[in-house]
Amino acid sequence: DGGITQSPKYLFRKEGQNVTLSCEQNLNHDAMYWYRQDPGQGLRLIYYSQIVNDFQKGDIAEGYSVSREKKESFPLTVTSAQKNPTAFYLCASSITPPDTQYFGPGTRLTVL
Amino acid sequence: GQQLNQSPQSMFIQEGEDVSMNCTSSSIFNTWLWYKQDPGEGPVLLIALYKAGELTSNGRLTAQFGITRKDSFLNISASIPSDVGIYFCAGPYNQGGKLIFGQGTELSVKP
Which DSSP string do the residues of B47-58 spell out, in sequence order? EEE-STT-EEEE
Mean per-residue pLDDT for B87-99?
A: 83
B59: contact with A, CB 8 A cutoff: no
B48: contact with A, CB 8 A cutoff: yes
Q: What is the pLDDT of residue A97?
A: 65
Contact A90 B103 (CB under 8 A): no
Q: What is the pLDDT of residue B95?
A: 64
- Cα nearest neighbour of A47 on chain B: B98
Q: How far is A94 from chain B (nearest CA, A)?
A: 10
Is A35:A43 a contact under the CB 8 Å cutoff? Answer: yes
Q: What is the pLDDT of residue A41?
A: 79
What average pLDDT does chain B have?
93
Mean per-residue pLDDT for A19-28?
A: 96
pLDDT band at A95 (very low <50, low <70, confident <90, very high): confident
pLDDT one-digit tens code per residue, B41-66: 999 999 999 999 999 999 999 999 99
Distance, in Å, from the CA atom of A26 to the CA atom of B83, rounded to the nearest integer, reads 29
B110: contact with A, CB 8 A cutoff: no
Is A104:A22 a contact under the CB 8 Å cutoff? Answer: no
Q: What is the pLDDT of residue A99?
A: 73
Q: How far is A8 from chain B (nearest CA, A)?
A: 13
pLDDT band at A61 (very low <50, low <70, confident <90, very high): very high
Distance, in Å, from the CA atom of A54 to the CA atom of B1, rounded to the nearest integer, reads 25
Contacts of B101 in chain A (CB under 8 A): 42-43
Contact A41 B40 (CB under 8 A): no
Contact B104 A50 (CB under 8 A): no
B99: contact with A, CB 8 A cutoff: yes
What average pLDDT does chain A have?
93
